[in-house]
Amino acid sequence: MIGHAVRKAAPGADPGITGKALCCVDPFVFAAARAGRLREAPATSRRENQIERRGGPRRTLVGGAGKTAPRKRTRGVRGDLFPRLRFVLPQPARIKPAGRAGIVAGLMLGLALAAAAPASAALNVFACEPEWAALAVELGGGAVEAFSATTGRQDPHQIQARPSLIARMHRADLVVCTGAELEIGWLPILLRQSANGKVQPGAPGYFEASQAVTLLDVPASVDRAQGDVHAQGNPHLHLDPRNIAQVAAALAARLAELDPERAGLYRARLQDFARRWAAAIARWEARAAPLKRLPVVIHHKDWTYLIAWLGMRQAGLLEPKPGVPPSTSHLDALMARLKAQPARMVIRSAYQDDRPARYVADRAGIPEVVLPYTVGGDQEATDLFALFDDTLNRLLVGVK
């Protein structure tokens, strides 16, 4: 690139030099001139230091500004800034050979700069859900840059494979997803279109959390008439914090495999997270004592793991089949069963339709409790610890 046309004169330049004269000037030389690193060469006469303007008179730079001078071609010197303006670059000072002390000082300076140099780039983690992005940050800290393809107010089953997600996955070093067919409607498209061999299934850069735990609700057979049934089992495993502890250990090992230079960092952060997480689980289970054997109605089977962990009991399901929206006839039949076996609350996720839950809650006279489901599901669930703190707070308020 040669240069850019400029409308105004450079700062500090003579008012007679307009932007037209700066067109097509080398931008690096122009920048040096603006910074004051170029000095004007001495001129023996007024005519030797002139700038020519096409189709019009010329203006002199030293004395006689604004006066017209006869046309005369002047030969510039090496380091010209403008075609007819003579500048010379400052000559570098002569460097004397360094002695032994100078060499030692130079080596010490080089070592200091090397020690202060930034570490290798952060590992680029593409997480399918917010809980795994949050876990990656817990384990990697500043060594990872985590991005979540979904938010806490989106149904992870129903995501569009947008071009922006394809671009993100193309740059990823590691893809962390739930698996168990939770993302089957959109993840294969992203993987195929990303053209990133590092994160394809089977490669070290592809990680499924479901491979680290034992899943619930594994069907004996799969039939489309059963609704949206996952052949490998219920994929909403993160709502049991004990599963997150197992996934954390597997994910930390994968981070260390992909980034061996910082393997010690990942191990240390895993130990710290495991210690804090175990203490939090003990605290949560103590607080959740009033919830044991509590009958609840849930919208979808995404709360199966939470119910199993806290010892609650599922008294009804708003969906007639997994993934099938509830009809009025189904909800009326559920109400008839609840008269014989009452429930204490109706639970739904923040992203789910509120009308079925409100329909049952109003007619049964029980509270509707909206839970965050994942990190970012509400304003309080800012990380993994806050997710379960907020979930228990809401459940305990609903049971009063």
* CATH 3.40.50.1980 domain extents, the chain: 123-284, 288-399
Please state the pTM of the whole predicted model: 0.71
How far apart are alpha carbons 128 and 187 in whole angstroms? 8
The DSSP annotation for 14-71 comes to -TT--HHHHTT--HHHHHHHHTT--EEPP-SSGGGSEE--TTS--EESSSSTT-----
CATH architecture of 288-399: 3-Layer(aba) Sandwich (3.40)
pLDDT digits (tens, 9 = 90+) for 114-162: 443 345 789 999 999 999 999 999 999 999 999 999 999 999 999 999 9
pLDDT tens per residue across all 400 residues of the chain: 434 443 344 444 444 434 433 444 444 444 444 444 444 444 444 444 444 444 444 443 444 444 444 444 444 444 444 344 343 444 444 444 445 555 555 555 454 434 433 457 899 999 999 999 999 999 999 999 999 999 999 999 999 999 999 999 999 999 999 999 999 999 999 999 999 999 999 999 999 999 999 999 999 888 777 777 888 999 999 999 999 999 999 999 999 999 999 999 999 999 999 999 999 999 999 999 999 999 999 999 999 999 999 999 999 999 999 889 999 999 999 999 999 999 999 999 999 999 999 999 999 999 999 999 999 999 999 999 999 999 999 999 999 8
CA distances from 355 to 295, 299, 303, 304, 359 (A): 21, 11, 18, 21, 6
Domain 123-284 has CATH 3.40.50.1980: yes
CA-closest candidate to residue 248, choices 279, 223, 284, 275: 275
